[in-house]
Amino acid sequence: MSIAIVTGGASGIGRAIAAELSSRGDTVYVTDRNAEGAAEVADTLNAKLPGKAFAAALDVTDNEAVAAFYNQVATDHGSLDLVFNNAGIAIGGLAEELTMDHWNRAIDINLKGVIHGVDAAYRIMIKQGSGHIVNTASLAGLVPMPMGIPYTATKHAVVGLSLGLRAEAAGNGVKVSVVCPGFVDTPLLATVNDGLPDTALSSKPGTDVKDTVPGRLYTAEKLARDIMKGVKRNDALIVAPASGRAAWRGMRINPAGAVRIAKIAVDQFRKQSAK
């Protein structure tokens, strides 16, 4: 059995990862800035699955709080085996619509939040000589995703951080993987620019951002199973679903072509917005 921490565990991908861990009999700490949501998830897991789940309020933008919590878990259990730095937010809009508030929020949560988790977990795992850090990025961290470039920029950074750390960490017995999912059916799509100035892509009452997403959405539960398979194989990059892997492959083969396809999406969006 493993001792695991999942950030952003109150919903979506984090919740699904916590369920997969609990189904294996692991001890999992479900953390989120939404304390009530984290507690609800932990209670549900404890009622239905063999593992042991605990809930904790945690703001990943608070470096000291993250370090203190990770160290406390490691101290209480004698080890920290798995860390899923998963918490993130969605930012959408054309570059000219965005403000520094959009950029700073994306950097603080999607990038610095991961950095805080990596820094805390890695120091613990170096001392242990073991452990696995899993960072959630996005397909947007591998391909050119317009109409949300603060999100895209932070996810590219998380991919680079994870792969660079993986090369360093191997010599210390620590594993590092990065998850790059395509569009997943999670509450994130209903909270685009939450608490930030609106753009044409903001989630608003009476609208459904899911309607703007091309193709069929992947479920968080399927992605969580993909993630755990990738962790078992110690994959550097965990890319899902198959359509996401195809897009990534296309980007590697023809980067200019991938940008042209992204431009088509932007042109279509601008035409629709002008109506």
Catalytic residue positions, numbered: 151
Sign of the torsion formed by the C-alpha atoms of 52, 56, 60 and 63: negative
Tell me how crowded residue 22 is: count the other CB atoms within 10 A of its CB: 24
Give ∠ CA 182-275-89 in degrees, rounded to 5: 30
- The answer to whether residues 89 and 194 touch, using CB atoms and an 8 Å cutoff, is yes
Tokens 């059916």 — which residue? Answer: 185
Burial of 21 from C-beta contacts in 10 A (0-12 / 13-18 / 19+) = buried
Q: How far apart are CA 121 and CA 13, in angstroms?
A: 20
DSSP 20: H
CA distances from residue 260 to 92, 188, 249, 271 in whole angstroms, order as listed = 20, 27, 15, 17
Q: Token pair for residue 198? A: 């609106």
Write the single-letter amino acid at 172.
N
